[in-house]
Amino acid sequence: MSPSATAPEATFTITPMTRSPKQKHNYGATVTGLDLNDISDTDVRHLSDAIWTHKVVVVKGQKDLAPIKQWELVTRFDPSSPQVHSHGDMKTFNSKGGLLSKSREVLGIPGAENVRLIGKGFQGEDHYGIKNKTITKPLSHDWHAKELPQDEFDAGNVRFQRWHMDAPLYGRDPAWFTTLRCLKRPTEPQVNIRWDDDSGLSMKAEPGLTAFISNVQMYEMMTEDEKGMADHSWVEYAPHPYMWIGDCKGNSNGLGLVSQGKEKSLEGLGDFDPKDVKTYPMVWVNPVTGEKAFHVHGICARKLFIRTSQTEEPRIIDDVVEIRKLLKTIQERVLKPEYILIPSLDEGDIVMWANYQMFHTAIDYPGSYGPRTMHQANIASSSPPAGPYPIPSAA
């Protein structure tokens, strides 16, 4: 039973997002009638349940939200969690963030450092104490192995940057939810998002938004044999995983890595504590709905332990080429335009998503369209994800 099942009713309204006949994603909702500067404990529980249930929720009309109130909301979702951003403080993020910190510029908001400024272009003369800042290193397609020609990008042809969940995958457990507040973004012209992977796929979207795919729908697309394997199997992630892949390049559709042998050796990662290396089930169970998600962050996976029953001895796959081939077969099925949700955000809207069920990605756009300003916050969870079956204690 969900935490709010016996609580007083919510004071806000939840409206499922509409979709066209061609669209096949089955998640997403908007919330209206809520002031996140002054939200009751009851409404926090109802909002939490709404995120678990609808997976992507856009809370409308939060133009006056104070950054510290965004952080307070995140901590109220999971009050037993350590009170720090899931990727640590800014010093930790910049020193150990590897791929994440070297590929973009991220700043903590003064007085609310765990709320991170993520954007592009000029951020204003005084943005909550950050003065005359121009972000010249946004999330972009530069990480891809296959180059996107500059003239094509300038013409509005873009890509999904990197499909991922928000997870340190070392030392701390992934956030239940991520919150991303839109303060400023261009709304036109549309960008043309290309897969550039010989599939010929593309789709249009407003600039400056975030795209989502559901790993619950991904699981539902699997065969019964694949589900049986995934339900009983688990993943070991690399120590300091984003340092481990710091020199690697991604596929042009944003999903997974190109295998070029550029992963760092364990010795090259410096000191790490084996107790902080994370091992998670392949399938994560939604604690409110009971839905299963095939939730494997393939770019950071160092070993797979494959079995089809609780009594079977697992087959260990530690060849990253084989790991990525297996995951690609399953994960790319949902990477089609009809399964992708790119919710539009007005200035002041805040999108929140269930990080245990969804992958998401930024989508870059030509700088001539205008600046983008977002506030992102999440918190490492107080408990790790649970699978359909426990991982053996000896693993």
What pLDDT is attached to residue 83?
78
What is the rounded distance in angstroms from the CA atom of residue 191 to the CA atom of residue 221? 29
What pLDDT is attached to residue 96?
52
User: What is the pTM for the complete model shown?
Assistant: 0.93
What pLDDT is attached to residue 104?
60
pLDDT in tens, 276-293: 999 999 999 999 999 999
What pLDDT is attached to residue 382?
93
In terms of phi and psi (left: phi > 0; alpha: psi -120 to 50; beta: otherwise), the region of 45 is alpha
pLDDT in tens, 57-99: 999 999 999 999 999 999 999 999 887 776 665 566 555 545 5
What pLDDT is attached to residue 5?
52
What is the rounded distance in angstroms from the CA atom of residue 354 to the CA atom of residue 49? 10
What pLDDT is attached to residue 142?
86
What pLDDT is attached to residue 101?
45
Q: From 80, 72, 75, 43, select the one nearest 59 (Cα to Cα).
A: 43
| pLDDT-flagged residues of the chain (< 50) | 1, 3, 97, 101
What pLDDT is attached to residue 94?
53
What pLDDT is attached to residue 140?
76
Q: What SS3 string covers the chain?
A: CCCCCCCCCCCCEEEECCCCCCCCCCCCEEEECCCCCCCCHHHHHHHHHHHHHHCEEEECCCCCCCHHHHHHHHHHHCCCCCCCECCCCHHHHHHHCCHHHHCCCCEEECCEEEEEEEEEEECCCEECCEECCEECCCCCHHHECCCCCHHHHHCCEECECCCECCCCCECCCCCCEEEEEEEECCCCCCEEEECCCCCCCEEEECCCCEEEEEHHHHHHCCCHHHHHHHHHCEEEECCCHHHHCCCCEECCCCCCEECCCCCCCCHHHCCCCHHHECEEECEEECCCCCCEEECCCHHHEEEEEECCCCCCCCEEECCHHHHHHHHHHHHHHHCCHHHCECCCCCCCCEEEEECCCEEEEEECCCHHHCCEEEEEEEECCCCCCCCCCCCCCCC
What is the rounded distance in angstroms from the CA atom of residue 191 to the CA atom of residue 205? 6
